[in-house]
Amino acid sequence: MVKKQSNLYHHSFFYTEKKSFFMLYKKFFISLIDHVTFDFKLEFFSYLWHTRPFFNLMRQIMRILHTMLRVGDLDRSLNFYQNALGMRLLRTSENPEYRYTLAYLGYGDEENSAVLELTYNWDENQYDLGTGFGHIAIGVDDIFGFCKKVEQAGGKITRAPGAVKGGRTVIAFAEDPDGYKIEFIENKMAQAGLGN
């Protein structure tokens, strides 16, 4: 019984010491943060963001999965995205009860890349695109050659390749069969702002 009490005392002592140590460390850390410059804080927390396993895990979990477009003719849209834009049909699913079909396309697998989801409602063949939607952007290596291939495949180029207004980034625009805008940007400039 005495030995057990001794062990209990021992554990309590070390727990108290550990707790006191972390409390002192916390006070020191807060005091340090209060006295450093904003630039240092920014750099320090940026370092934490890129190195801590928890944050790295969250960054891996959080990602864009797909963009959904409603289309009036699924076969026509599949032909455009596969043959004119070179996407790959990844999977399809049908729901007879609610009368719609989904088709997923992309340049990579869904596990690693954002993809396009085409939704075909069996009883709808036309949609009002409205003014809220802008465009989908696709990076290409040779924008001039790619636009020629799109046209040869029956696609519609609405803006020929050229520098964006007020900048040097080379872009072009096309329309899919339903009128959705698709922007092409040369890969070497894809990470830059359009005004650069």
Spatial CB neighbours of 110, under 8 Å, sequence gap ≥ 6:
65, 66, 90, 91, 104
How far is the C-alpha of 15 from the C-alpha of 9, rounded, in Å?
Answer: 10
CB 81 within 8 A of CB 177: no
In whole angstroms, give the CA distance from residue 164 to residue 181.
16
- Sheet with 181-186, edge to edge strand ranges: 136-140, 181-186, 170-175, 156-163
Q: Which residue among 110, 117, 175, 183 is the active-site one?
A: 183
Tally of CB atoms within 10 A around 118? 23
Instruction: State yes or no: is 117 an active-site residue.
Output: no
Give the residue numbers annotated as catalytic, written as ranges: 183
